[in-house]
Each structure stands twice: as C-alpha cells, then as structure tokens.
Structure 1
Amino acid sequence: MQIHNISQQNSILNNFISEIRSVTIQKDSMRFRRNIERIGEILGYEMSKTLHYQASSIETPLGISPINLINDDIVLCSILRAGVPLHNGLLNYFDKAENAFISAYRHHLHNPESFEIIVEYLACPNLDNKTLILADPMLATGQSMVATFEALKPFGTPKEIHLVSIIGAKEGVDYVSAHFNASTHLWIAAIDEKLNEKGYIIPGLGDAGDLAFGEKLQR
C-alpha cells in the first residue's frame, strides 16, 4: 500500500490538526466539524494530483482555453457517523462523485477491550471500474476500514482504491496495509504512535463522532 502522510511536510494543515486535537478548541462542535471538513479538502487536493486526466478545451467569452480535466468516475464512501464532515470536505472538491454510505460500529462483547465491527446500513452505487474513495476520520485498529471494504465487494470491483483518514495509529496503518493490495493509496493527515487498551489512538483526539455530533448511548 502506498502511504501519503501529509503532515510530514509543514503546511496550513498543521493548524487544523492542532485545533481538532486541542481539548479546549474541540469542545466547539461546529468548529470541530468545519476543521474536519477543511482537512478533507486538503487531503482531497493532494489525492487529486494522482488521478487520471484527459485533455479538454473550454470556451470562454473571448476564445478557447485548453485544460486537463479529471477523467475518473469517482465513488465517495464514508463510514457513518464520524465520517460525515470528512465526506463533505472531499465532496466539496469532488462534487461530481457518486456517493455511498455505510454504518460500522464497535460492538463490545464482554469487556471494553474486546469488540467486533458490526456493519448494518449500506447504500452504494455500482463500483465496477470506478475510483473508490473510502473515508473514515480515525484509523485506529483498521478493522472498520477493512470490514467496510468487505461489505462493498458485492457492488463491484473498483479500478483504484484510495483510503482517506485524518489521524491513524501505526497499528491501524499496518493492519490496512496487510489487507489492501499494493496499489491502494492511503491519504492521512497524521500518524500517531500507538493505541491504548481500549483501541483508541494515543495521543489522538478522543471520539470524533462524539465531538462532531454529541455523545451517544452504547449498545
């Protein structure tokens, strides 16, 4: 898998990452969602440099302007609910993309440290020969990303796969690397050192879904 860790080069991305991590600033849920959206825009822009283009021409009021335009059929799939702001950021740049949504959550079996990934709701267009962008803001264990992709397989075989995350743990990056083929791209804003005993990223930022939309009842 090809890993693109955007934080390895200093940019305005650092500001948005610092704000979603800050225990003070992240309490503003509207600002948290907007920062996730802006990070999605940056990751989408960086990813766009690797897509396929074809020569086109645009008629202006004063003449003809040659330009290369994206020639990929894109399907943007996000994992509910935390993935919604990230989805919006990517959709701001890939506004002609088709869209898919899937719910995946941790179901704790007997204790807080043991869980399985449950996939329930799924809406997806045909994926055959399309460019799939699979977005989940937190790449912790990597199990949600893999379970989501397995659930999408009946909808067709994409020609390319791009994974997009905001913050990941090395363990999660290694896990998805082992489960996706070598041509898959991972676009990520920061990679943290480890997971805690409950499978949360350290130092991370907390629960992205709760920060964006409010606390939930566990089931």
Structure 2
Amino acid sequence: MTVHHLLEKESIANKFVAQLRDISVQKDRLRFRRNVERLGEILGYELSKNLSYGQENITTPLGEITMDLPKEEIVICSILRAGLPLHTGLLNYFDDAENSFISAYRHHPYDDEEFEILVEYLASPSLEGKILILADPMLATGSSFVNVLSALETMGNPKEIHLVSIIGAKEGIKYVSKEFPENSHLWIATIDEKLDERGYIVPGLGDAGDLCFGPKQQH
C-alpha cells in the first residue's frame, strides 16, 4: 500500500485539521462537519492526480479544444456515520461517482474497553473493475477498513482501492497496509503516534461520529 501523507507539506489543510482537534472549536458541529467535508475535497483533489485520463473534444462558444478528463468509473463508499461529511467532500469533486454506504461500529460486548467491529448494513452497486474509494475520517486500529473490505467482497473486484482518512495512528496504518492489496493507496491528512488503551488515536480529536452528529447510546 502506498501512503500519501498530506501534512508532510504545509498547506491550508493544517488549519482545518487544527480546528477539528481544538476542543473549543469542535463544539460547533456545523463547523466540524464542514471542516471534515473540506478535507474530503482536498484529499479527493490529491487522489485525482493518480487516476487515468483520456482526451475529449470540448466545444466552446469560440471554438474547440482537446482536454484530458477522468475516464475511471468510481464508487465512493463511506463508513457510517462519521464518514458522511467526508463522503460529501469527495462527492463534491467526483460528482458523477456511484455511491455505497456501509455501517461499521465498535461493539463492547462486556461493557468494558474490549470491543469488536460489527458490520450490519450495506448498500452498494457493483464494484467490478471500478475505482473504490473507502472514506472514514479516523483510522485508529484499522479494523473498520479491514472488516468493510471483507463485507464488500460480494460486490465484485475493484480495479483499485483508495482509502481516505483525516487522522490515523501508525499502528492502524501498518495493519491496513498488511491486509489490503499491494496496489492500494491511503490518502491521509495527518498521522498520529499511537493508540490509547481504548483504541482511540492520541492526540487525535475524540469520537468523530459524536462530534459530527451528537453522542450515541452504546450498544
């Protein structure tokens, strides 16, 4: 897997990530969701540089011009529920993409820190021969991405897989790199050092789903 680390170079994306992390700013759910969406747009733009293009003739009011335009069939799959604003950002740029939605959440069967990732809902078109973009803002342990990949196997074999996240932990990135095909790509804004005992990214930003949409009752 090829890892594309956005904040290795300074850009305006630093500001959006900083606001997502800042406890005084992240209380504003609207701004939090919008910043996730904006980072989806930035990461989608960077991802677009790796796609295949073909020439098309365009007629303007004053003549004609040949331009290189994307020719891939793309499916954007977001992991519910935190992936929704990220999905919107990607869809703003890949506006003719097909869409897939899947649930993956942490289930604590013993009401303690131990958890498993459950996948319970999937709505997806065929992935056969297409570019699959998997969107989840947080890449912690990597289990969500791996379980989702397994659940999508019945939808066909994608031509290429791109993971899109905002913040990841080194441990989770190492895990998905081992479990995903070699020609996969990870597009990520920033990489944090570690996970805590609960499997949350440190320093991270907290629970992205709760910050987007409000707290949920634990299963």
Q: Shorter-normalised TM-score: what interval?
A: over 0.9
1:64 paired with 2:64, answer: yes
Partner residue of 1:21? Answer: 21
Unaligned stretches of 5+ in structure 1? none
What TM-score do you get using the length of structure 2 for normalisation?
0.99
Residue identity over aligned pairs, in percent, reads: 63
Unaligned stretches of 5+ in structure 2? none
The 1-side partners of 2:202 and 2:107 are apart by 21
What TM-score do you get using the length of structure 1 for normalisation?
0.99
Partner residue of 1:106? Answer: 106
Deviation at 1:57, TM superposition (A): 1.2
For the aligned residue pairs, the C-alpha RMSD in angstroms reads 0.6
In the alignment, residue 139 of structure 1 is paired with which amino acid?
A: L
In the alignment, residue 186 of structure 1 is paired with which amino acid?
A: L
Query: Does structure 2 retain, via aligned residues, the 8 Å contact 1:104–1:118?
Result: yes
Partner residue of 1:194? Answer: 194
Query: Does structure 2 retain, via aligned residues, the 8 Å contact 1:128–1:155?
Result: yes
TM alignment of 1:25-36, pairs within 5 A: 25-36=25-36
* Segments ≥4 residues shifted beyond 6 Å: none
Secondary structure, aligned partner of 2:38: helix
TM alignment of 1:155-170, pairs within 5 A: 155-170=155-170
TM alignment of 1:122-161, pairs within 5 A: 122-161=122-161
Partner residue of 1:50? Answer: 50
Secondary structure, aligned partner of 1:128: coil
The 1-side partners of 2:109 and 2:120 are apart by 17
The 1-side partners of 2:135 and 2:142 are apart by 12
The 2-side partners of 1:101 and 1:12 are apart by 29
